[in-house]
Amino acid sequence: MRLILLLLISTLLLSCKQPENVSEFTVRYPVPKQLKPFELVDQNNNIVTNEALLGKWNLLFLGYTSCPDVCPMTLAKLTQINSKISTVQQTQIWFVSVDPQRDSPQKRKDYIGYFDEQFLAVTNKHKQLFPFVRDIGLIYAINDGTDKDYYVDHSASIALINPLGELSAIFKPEFLKGQVPTVNTQHIVEDFKIISQSY
């Protein structure tokens, strides 16, 4: 009788569907991280807080409107990604400008409108911006200097925030020889579905 019971348990365990694994380009948090309170300003000069994250899946990308390559390429990919994942979940794309000195609300509005005017284009002074960026697991740095055409170093990853306003994952870029590091559209779509379906 005991042997039959053990065989039955083993069969049940084997038949249970194992959780799917995400790709090597996604860092998934076993326990999502609650974000600290923040305050940003969008392209319409509206204050944006943690409440804007609630009730939807949010993908946040750092950049700036003067960026020559990574930003426009990633935003173009985010447009494609959002068209696919928004059919299965409610989503919101955030372009977080890490260059508040040059990126005025109108400049951000014009820039994001080229990709999708429904995207949020937010920023704030570095005093508020830097802690927020660090809290979502990303980073940026501006080189000191008087050159008005300065570059801003920033993460090329995308943060995924769940509908409770918690950091659930980081989508990392691919580094291919001779190419600008950008995210892989297919990997993000597939990994997003795995994470959101198990949420």
Q: What is the pLDDT, as a whole number, of residue 10? A: 43
Residue 12 lies in a domain: no
- Match 């920033």 to its residue by tokens: 154
Residue 104 belongs to domain with CATH number: 3.40.30.10
Residue 14 lies in a domain: no
The answer on pLDDT for 3 being more than 50 is no
Residue 16 lies in a domain: no
DSSP 8-state secondary structure symbol assigned to residue 55: T
Residue 2 lies in a domain: no
DSSP 8-state secondary structure symbol assigned to residue 20: P
Binding-site residue positions: 67, 71, 154
DSSP 8-state secondary structure symbol assigned to residue 182: B
| Band of residue 180 on the pLDDT scale cut at 50, 70, 90 | confident
- Cα–Cα distance measured from residue 120 to residue 118, given in angstroms and rounded to the nearest whole number: 6
List beta partners, residue 161: 58, 167
Residue 166 lies in a domain: yes
Domain count, the chain: 1
Across the range 33-44, mean pLDDT stands at 97
Across the range 152-173, mean pLDDT stands at 96
Binding-site residue positions for Cu cation: 67, 71, 154
Structural domain that includes position 160: 27-197
The answer on pLDDT for 73 being more than 80 is yes
Q: What is the pLDDT, as a whole number, of residue 183? A: 93
Residue 22 lies in a domain: no
Residue 100 host element (H or E): none
Residue 3 lies in a domain: no
User: Which residue would you say has higher pLDDT here, 115 or 146?
Assistant: 115
Residue 69 lies in a domain: yes
| Band of residue 145 on the pLDDT scale cut at 50, 70, 90 | low
Which SS3 state, helix, strand or coil, does residue 79 take? helix
